[in-house]
Amino acid sequence: MDEPAEPSPSVRARGVPPLAAAAAALFLVGSLLVALTTGPLAIGVGAIAESALAHVPMLHVRSRLDGLEAAIVWQVRAPRVVLGALVGGMLAVSGSAYQGVFRNPLADPYLLGVAAGAGLGATLAIAYASAADRGGELLPLAAFAGAVCAVAAAYVLGRSVGGAHTTGALVLAGVTVAAFMTAVQTFVQQQRSDSLREVYSWLLGGLDGASWHQVLVMSPYVAVGSAVILLHRRVLDVLSLGDEEAASLGIDVRRTRLMIVAAATAGTSAAVAVSGLIGFVGIIVPHTIRLLVSSSYRAIVPLSLLGGAGFLVLADVLARTVLAPDEVPIGVVTAFFGAPFFAVVLRTTRRIGM
Amino acid sequence: MSAVEARDLSVRLGETEALRGVSLSVERGEWLGLIGPNGAGKTSLLRALAGLVPFSGSVRLDGHRVGRATRRTIARTCALVPQIAQVPAHLTVAEYVLLGRTPHIGYLSTERREDRLAAERAIARLELRPFAERLLGSLSGGELQRVVLARALAQQASILLLDEPTSALDLGRQQQALELVDLLRRDERLAVIAAMHDLSLAGQYADRLVLLDRGRLVGEGSAQEVLSAERIAAYYDASVEVVELGGAVFVLPRRAGPERGHPR
C-alpha cells in the first residue's frame, strides 16, 4: 500500500465547526451589548463605544456620556455583565465536564453537593455573623468553603465505598452529603427565623450589587477551572468509552476524574459564592450544544463556555427589566425561559447521544 | 522473550476467586484461544493481563511488568477489545479510531499528523474508508466490530486481547472478522489471545487452546488434544459429539436422548 504523505481530510476529529464558533462568539458579543445598553437609562452602543475609546490615548475620541451616565455604564452595568458572563460560562463548562466524567446526561455542577454546601455556609454566615461582619467577604467566603467541603466529603465518601463502581458511588455519596447539609441548613434556618428572608433571597441567586472587586476575586478561579477542563476536552471523549476502555488506552481514570472534578468544583464554588444558586445553566447549555452541534467534548466544552456566558447575561437582562424596578430572581428566569427553549431544541433534533 | 508471560496469576473479585494460579506464555505471531464455560475466568484473565484488575502473580508484556510500568506503556504494548465495547453513537468512525491513538498522544494535547496517518492506515486496513465520516450509531453490528478492531489496530500494540470478538455476529461476519484478525496477526506479527465461545471456530483459528474452569487452567494444547467429548462433557456440562474433518476439529452439540436429558 502506498504511504500517503498527508492524512486524508476525512480522518480527523471534527472539533469545533467554524460556523458554530462564529455563531457562539456572535451570541456572546450580542448579549454583552444588549446588556450594557439595556436599563432605565437608555444609552446607545455608539455612546458606549465612544466612552470606551475616550480612555485610549492618542485616539482623541470624546465621550458623549456625562459623569452619571458613564458611572452607570462602567461602574454598575459593566461589572454586572462581566460577572454574569463569568458565572454563566463557568456553570456551563462545569456542567459539561460533570456530564462527561460521570457519563450521566443529568449531571450538573451541583451533582456532588456544591449547592447544599454553599447553602449551608451562607446560611451559617447570615444566621450567626453580625450584619457588619458579613458586609464584606464573609458571606461569599462561607459559601465557597461550604461548597468545597461538600464536594471533598462526597469524594472521600465515594472513594471509600466505591471499589470498581466509582462513578455510581460518587453520585450517591454526593446525594448523601447534600441531604445531610440541607438538613443542617434547614435546622439553622428554623432556629433563626429572622434570617429566613435573607437566606431565601441568597439561595435564589442573583447578580445585583455586582462590583469589579467581585469580578477580580472570582476570575482566577474561572480562568484556572475552565482552562483545566478545556485542556481535558479530548480526554473527556476517551472517558465516554467507559472507565475500563479508557484505562486500557492508558488513561489513569481516577486521577483524571479527580482533576476534572476539582477544577469544576473550584470554578463552580466561586461562581456560587458571588451569585448564589443559579440552576439549569449547567444542564441546558451543554445539551443544547450537544443537540445542535456535536456530542464530542471537543465541541461541547469550548462552546459551553461562550454559550453559557451569553445565556446568563441575557437571562440577567430579563431578570432586571421584566418587573423593573424590582428584580426577578435570575434562577427563575433561566428555568422559565430555558426550559421551553430546551423543549423546542429536543423536539426539533433527532440526536440525543451521550 | 515471549510477548506475554504470565506466572501464577490469581484474581479475586469480592469474595470469589475468579482466577487461581494460572500461568501461560504466548509468542509473537501466535494465536492462543481461551475456552471454558461461563464464569470460568476468561474475561478476568484478559483483564488481568491488561492490568485492569488487581491481581497477584506476575505479568510481563513484551518485557514490561504490568503494575510497575505506566498505564501508557502497557497501552502501547497491548490492545484490548472488550466483549461489549462502548461505542458512543455520536462519534464518527474516524474520531473513534483516533481515540485508539490515546497512548501515543500527550495527555492534554491533541493528535498530530502521524496519529492521523496511523488511524488512516487502520481504517484502510479494515476496509472502512467509505465509512470514515459516518456516525457509529448508523453502523451495523458487523461494521462496528471492524471499527473496534480498527481502533485496536491504530493503538499499534504488538499484543491483541480479544474478549469473545464475534459473539454478536452472524455466521459469515464471524468468519470474516476472525479471518481479518488472522491476517493482521500474520502481517503485523501480533500475539493474539482470544476468548471464544464457539469451540469449533476456536480450534480452527487458534494455534493453541487453553481450557479454563472455575478459575483454573485445566487443559492446554492443540485442538485435537483439548477438544475431546469427555472433557467438554465434564467442564461444560454439555452433550456433544466431536468430529474430525479434513484436519479440523468440530464440536457439535447433540441432544441427549429424552431418557438421559433433564426432565421438564
CATH, residue B30: 3.40.50.300
A72 band by pLDDT with thresholds 50, 70 and 90:
confident
More confident residue, A104 or B263: A104
Are A92 and A308 spatial neighbours (Cβ–Cβ below 8 Å)?
Answer: yes
Q: Are strands B208-213 and B216-221 parallel, antiparallel or unpaired?
A: antiparallel
The answer to whether B240 touches B253, Cβ cutoff 8 Å, is: yes
Q: In the numeric block, which cell numbers belong to residue B18?
A: 475468579
Place of cell 504523505: A5
Q: What is the pLDDT of residue B22?
A: 94
- Cβ count within 10 A of residue B79: 25
Are A238 and B99 in contact (CB < 8 Å)?
yes
Yes or no, beta carbons of A248 and B132 under 8 Å apart: no
pLDDT band at B88 (very low <50, low <70, confident <90, very high): confident
Overall pTM surpassing 0.90 (yes/no): no
A230 part of contact set with chain B, CB < 8 Å: no
Q: Where are the domains of chain A?
A: 18-348
User: B202 with B219: CB under 8 angstroms?
Assistant: no
Q: Does B202 touch chain A (CB under 8 A)?
A: no
CA A16, A349, B145 angle in degrees (round to 5)?
Answer: 70
Residues contacting residue A303 through CB under 8 Å, at least 6 positions apart: A16, A20, A21, A24, A289, A293
| Smallest CA–CA distance from A290 into chain B, residue | B90
Where does the pLDDT of residue B263 fall: very low under 50, low under 70, confident under 90, or very high at 90 and above?
low
From the number of C-beta atoms within 10 Å of its C-beta (0-12, 13-18, 19+), residue B109 rates as exposed
Q: Do residues A271 and A104 make contact, with C-beta atoms less than 8 angstroms apart? A: no
Q: In this complex, is the C-beta atom of A20 within 8 Å of any C-beta atom belonging to chain B? A: no
**What residues of A are in contact with residue B73 (Cβ under 8 Å)?**
250
ipTM of the complex: 0.88
Domain count, chain B: 1
**What is the pLDDT, as a whole number, of residue B25?**
94
CB atoms within 10 A of CB A93: 35
On whether any CB of chain B is under 8 Å from the CB of A137, the answer is no
Q: What is the pLDDT of residues B101-152, one digit of tens each?
A: 999 998 888 888 899 999 999 999 888 999 999 999 899 888 888 899 899 9
Structural domain containing residue B23: 4-225
| Contact between A307 and A95 (Cβ < 8 Å) | no
**Nearest Cα residue to A349 out of A294, A283, A304:** A294
Residue A182 vs residues A111, A114, A121, A196, B147: alpha-carbon distances, Å = 14, 11, 11, 14, 48
Span B27-43, average pLDDT = 93
Inside any domain, residue B259: no
**Which pLDDT does position A354 carry in this prediction?**
43
Which three-class secondary structure state does DSSP give residue A35?
helix
Cβ distance A182 to A119 under 8 Å? Answer: yes
**What pLDDT sits at residue B76?**
94
Residue B251, domain member (yes or no): no
Three cell numbers written together for B13: 473479585
| B185 in any annotated domain | yes
Residue B165 lies in a domain: yes
Supply the pLDDT for residue A286. Answer: 92
B212 or A50, greater pLDDT: B212
In a domain, B264, yes or no: no
Q: Class of A18-348 per CATH? A: mainly alpha
B26 DSSP β-pair partners:
B4
In the sheet with B78-81, reading across from the earlier edge strand, the strands are: B78-81, B159-163, B191-195, B31-35, B208-213, B216-221
Residue B248 lies in a domain: no
